A = this chain, B = another copy of it.
Amino acid sequence: MMVMEWDQQQQENQREENGNLSVNNGGVMYVKVMTDEQLETLRKQIAVYASICEQLVEMHKNLTAHQDLTGGRLGNLYCDPLMTSGGHKISARQRWTPTAVQLQILERIFEEGTGTPSKQKIKEITSELSQHGQISETNVYNWFQNRRARSKRKQVVAASSNNNNNNNAAESEVETEVESPKTKPENLLVSQAQQDVCFQNTEITSQLHFLGGGYHNIYDQHAWQGMCVGC
């Protein structure tokens, strides 16, 4: 087997080491090489992963068919284990953390909607989301406030960064994402990945899409812009 090691430590220093760099747009684009054989192996591995995912989803469906409402426990659910019987709170988590499902729903509403939802709308959303975990209207309200504010901020930063004479192209992903109304990077994450891997199973596609919103927290959503480079 072979191991691919990407040493990231001294990124600046290593730029010159690479023999295979090409110039792009007046800047330097760094490229890597791999053989067809290597690429084929990668493809297989991803396919295996996908297959595993599919079967795991199936297992999950079978299990949840029986024990459904036991809880949306994947997200927060801290349920004050530290609360004593006397009502004395020692230390408990306060901050709400959306579950994967909740996030997915929120993102969907956000991208289709324009502006912060009305109070009535917030109630509805909260009601819906409460089926997937503990949540309050305030949480929903704050989420939309933050989501909008940060989306806008990113735009501003991205726009202004175009004016700067940047000496490198490796800006943080925050700047590189310009949220266009037509794209939904977070929610398309999984399904797009599947496209890239050339999946045929449509059922797993939808199911993975269902799960996709939850990975928001791991890989920040911005980076998913422009996924399929060649497709």
Contacts and interface: CB of A to CB of B under 8 A. Distances in A.
A229 B228 contact: yes
A227 B71 contact: no
Nearest to A67: B63
A121 interface: no
Contact of A1 (B14, B37, B231): B14
A48 interface: yes
Contacts of A161: 136-137
Interface in A189-231: 189-190, 193, 195-199, 201, 203-204, 207-208, 210-212, 214-215, 217-231
A17 B172 CA distance: 27
Interface of A: 1-15, 17-22, 29-53, 55-60, 62-64, 66-67, 70-71, 73-79, 81, 84, 86, 88-94, 96-97, 99-100, 123, 126-127, 130, 133-134, 136-139, 157, 160-161, 164, 166-168, 170-175, 179, 189-190, 193, 195-199, 201, 203-204, 207-208, 210-212, 214-215, 217-231
Contacts of A204: 51-52, 55-56
Copy total for this chain: 2
Given A20-B20, A52-B56, A77-B214, 12 more contacts: A3-B84, A4-B222, A5-B88, A22-B35, A45-B218, A49-B211, A56-B56, A66-B70, A91-B175, A136-B175, A138-B175, A228-B231
Given A32-B36, A77-B74, A189 B48 contact: yes
A180 to B, nearest CB: 9
Contacts of A79: 71, 218
Contact of A157 (B93, B137, B227): B137
Contact of A91 (B8, B94, B197): B8
